[in-house]
A and B are shown apart, each in its own frame.
Chain A
Amino acid sequence: MKSLASLSLWRIIILILPLVSLGQTFEYGWPDNYDKPPQCVDIPVDLRLCQGVGYHQMLLPNLLEHESMAEVKQQAGSWVPLLHKNCDPGTQLLLCSLFAPVCMERPIYPCRRLCENVRDGCSPIMAAFGFPWPHILTCDKFPQDDMCINTPNDTSTSEPNGHPPVCPPCDNEMKMDVILDHMCASEFAIKTKIQEVKRENMDRKVTLQKKKRTIKMGTLKKKDLKKLTLYLKNGADCPCTQLDNTRNTYLIMGRKVDKQYLLTGIHKWDKSNREFKKTMKKLKSHKCPAYENVFK
Chain B
Amino acid sequence: MSRKTRRWIFHIFLCLGIIYLKIGGFSSVVALGASIICNKIPGLAPRQRTICQSRPDAIIVIGEGAQMGINECQFQFKNGRWNCSALGERTVFGKELKVGSKEAAFTYAIIAAGVAHAITAACTQGTLSGCGCDKEKQGFYNQEEGWKWGGCSADIRYGLSFSKVFLDAREIKQNARTLMNLHNNEVGRKILEKNMRLECKCHGVSGSCTTKTCWTTLPKFRQLGYILKERYNHAVHVEPVRASRNKRPAFLKVKKPYSYRKPMDTDLVYIEKSPNYCEADPVTGSMGTQGRICNKTAQHTNGCDLMCCGRGYNTHQYSRVWQCNCKFLWCCYVKCNTCSERTEVYTCK
A: residues with CB less than 8 A from B are 8-17, 19-21, 32, 34-36, 54-55, 64-65, 71, 74-75, 78-79, 102-104, 108, 126, 131, 134-137, 146-150, 152, 185, 291, 294-296
**Which of B150, B206, B326, B330 is close to A296, meaning CB atoms less than 8 Å apart?**
B150
- CA distance in complex: A55, B333 (Å): 11
| B331→A75 contact, CB < 8 A | no
B258 proximal to A (CB < 8 A): no
Residues of chain B within 8 A (CB-CB) of A126 are 206
Residues of chain A within 8 A (CB-CB) of B330 are 54, 149-150, 152
| A12→B320 contact, CB < 8 A | yes
| A146→B326 contact, CB < 8 A | yes
| B203→A13 contact, CB < 8 A | no
B322 proximal to A (CB < 8 A): yes
| B206→A108 contact, CB < 8 A | no
- CA distance in complex: A75, B148 (Å): 17
* Least Cβ–Cβ distance between A96 and chain B, in angstroms: 11
* Least Cβ–Cβ distance between A2 and chain B, in angstroms: 13
| A131→B293 contact, CB < 8 A | no
Size band of the interface chain B makes with A: 35 or more
**Which of B207, B319, B336, B347 is close to A135, meaning CB atoms less than 8 Å apart?**
B207
Q: Is the interface of A mostly helix, strand, loop or mixed?
A: loop
B39 proximal to A (CB < 8 A): no
| B322→A131 contact, CB < 8 A | no
Residues of chain A within 8 A (CB-CB) of B293 are 19-20
| A147→B319 contact, CB < 8 A | no
| A12→B321 contact, CB < 8 A | yes
The chain B residue with its CB closest to the CB of A57 is: B332
* Least Cβ–Cβ distance between A90 and chain B, in angstroms: 12
**Which of A11, A34, A295 is close to B218, meaning CB atoms less than 8 Å apart?**
A34
- CA distance in complex: A136, B202 (Å): 9
User: Can you identify 11 A-B contacts, CB atoms within 8 angstroms?
Assistant: A9-B322, A9-B323, A16-B316, A17-B316, A54-B330, A74-B203, A131-B208, A134-B206, A147-B334, A149-B328, A295-B211
Residues of chain B within 8 A (CB-CB) of A294 are 203
| B323→A295 contact, CB < 8 A | no
Which has the most chain A C-beta neighbours within 10 Å: B124, B139, B326?
Answer: B326
Contact with A along B293-325 (1 / 0, CB 8 A): 100000000000000000000001111111101
| A64→B207 contact, CB < 8 A | yes
| A152→B331 contact, CB < 8 A | yes
B345 proximal to A (CB < 8 A): yes
Given A35-B124, A36-B125, A148-B328, also A131-B206 (CB < 8 A) = yes
| A13→B319 contact, CB < 8 A | yes
Residues of chain B within 8 A (CB-CB) of A137 are 207
The chain A residue with its CB closest to the CB of B347 is: A17
Given A20-B293, A102-B332, also A134-B125 (CB < 8 A) = no
Residues of chain B within 8 A (CB-CB) of A32 are 220
**Which of B125, B150, B203, B326 is close to A147, meaning CB atoms less than 8 Å apart?**
B326
Residues of chain A within 8 A (CB-CB) of B125 are 35-36
**Which of B78, B148, B326, B331 is close to A102, meaning CB atoms less than 8 Å apart?**
B331
| A147→B328 contact, CB < 8 A | yes
